[in-house]
């Protein structure tokens, strides 16, 4: 799974959710209200935005090679799988418990 960060405004996220709700069969007005309520009541978009802004956007690694966002089998302990580790990592971000990404590296200075 590609875990490259995508920067979205709350407006863009609301439009995305409205489109999705419409495809599930909600009429246009209900899809619009549902999307707006969901985005504005959830703390998840803000926490992801803060994490990505403070970590991914300032990291020297390419997002697709980040061990935290894209765990591989060698990053897993015990019987855990990369999908389980990815889900656990996401949960820590969404709960607001992760401030500094453990995979963060300083960007290289241009020569």
The per-residue pLDDT string of the chain (111 residues; one tens digit each, 9 = 90 and over) reads 566 667 788 899 999 999 999 999 999 999 999 999 999 999 998 899 899 889 988 888 887 788 898 899 998 999 999 999 999 999 999 999 998 999 988 887 655
Q: Which two tokens stand for residue 91?
A: 């949960």
Predicted TM-score of the model (pTM): 0.77
Please provide the DSSP assignment of 7-74 as one string: ---HHHHHHHHHHHHHHTT--HHHHHHHHHHHHHH-SHHHHHHHHHHHTGGG-SS-GGG-TTTS--GG
């Amino acid at each position: 799974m590609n875990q490259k960060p995508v920067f979205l405004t709350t407006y863009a996220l609301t439009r995305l959710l409205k489109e999705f709700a419409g495809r599930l069969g909600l009429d246009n007005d209900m899809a619009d209200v549902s999307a707006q309520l969901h985005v504005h009541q959830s703390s998840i978009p803000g926490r992801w935005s803060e994490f990505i802004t403070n970590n991914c956007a300032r990291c020297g690694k390419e997002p697709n090679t980040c061990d935290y966002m894209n765990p591989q089998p060698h990053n897993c302990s015990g019987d855990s799988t990369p999908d389980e580790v990815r889900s656990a990592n996401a949960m820590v971000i969404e709960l607001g418990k992760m401030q500094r990404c453990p995979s963060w590296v300083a960007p290289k200075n241009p020569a």
